[in-house]
Amino acid sequence: MGMLSMFQSMMKNSLVVRKVTTSVVDFMPTTTTVDSQAVPAFVYSRTAGESYFSPGMWKATTEYIAVVEPLAVDVTDKIVVDGVEYAVDYVDDVAFQGEVMLIGLRGVR
């Protein structure tokens, strides 16, 4: 039984990775946005995460923590959870096992 199985019954949120790139074409900046396929996730507050996982692991700006299957995500990406866009504060492949990923989220300002 993998680590993610303990969260399966709670994975009621829909998470999308939004990759935003900006390039310059003919001296004009062009922004391209590519959304990933939606994946199931479990999202909870940082306070709950600090009591469940190690305290001090999350930045002060982290508001929520998303639990998902491992996927390609960078701190420069945006994350959309149930239609709300967040910035990425932190990405952690738990114990480097490739079974579960934690993503620290903060509001986009």
State percent of the chain over pLDDT 70.
Answer: 73
* Residue 70 pLDDT greater than 90, yes or no: no
108, 87 Cβ separation under 8 angstroms: yes
Backbone angles phi, psi at 31, to 5 degrees: -105, 130
**Mean of the per-residue pLDDT values for the chain?**
80
Q: How many CB atoms lie within 10 A of CB 109?
A: 5
Q: Which domains does the chain have, with CATH numbers?
A: 3-107 (2.40.10.270)
What residues contact residue 5 under an 8 Å CB cut-off, 6+ apart? Answer: none
HSE, side-chain direction, 13 A CA sphere, residue 36: 19
Q: How confident is the model at residue 55, as a pLDDT?
A: 58
Segment 15-55, tens digit of pLDDT: 999 998 888 888 888 888 888 888 989 888 777 666 665 55
Spatial CA neighbour of 64 closest among 83, 82, 86: 86
How much is the pTM?
Answer: 0.77
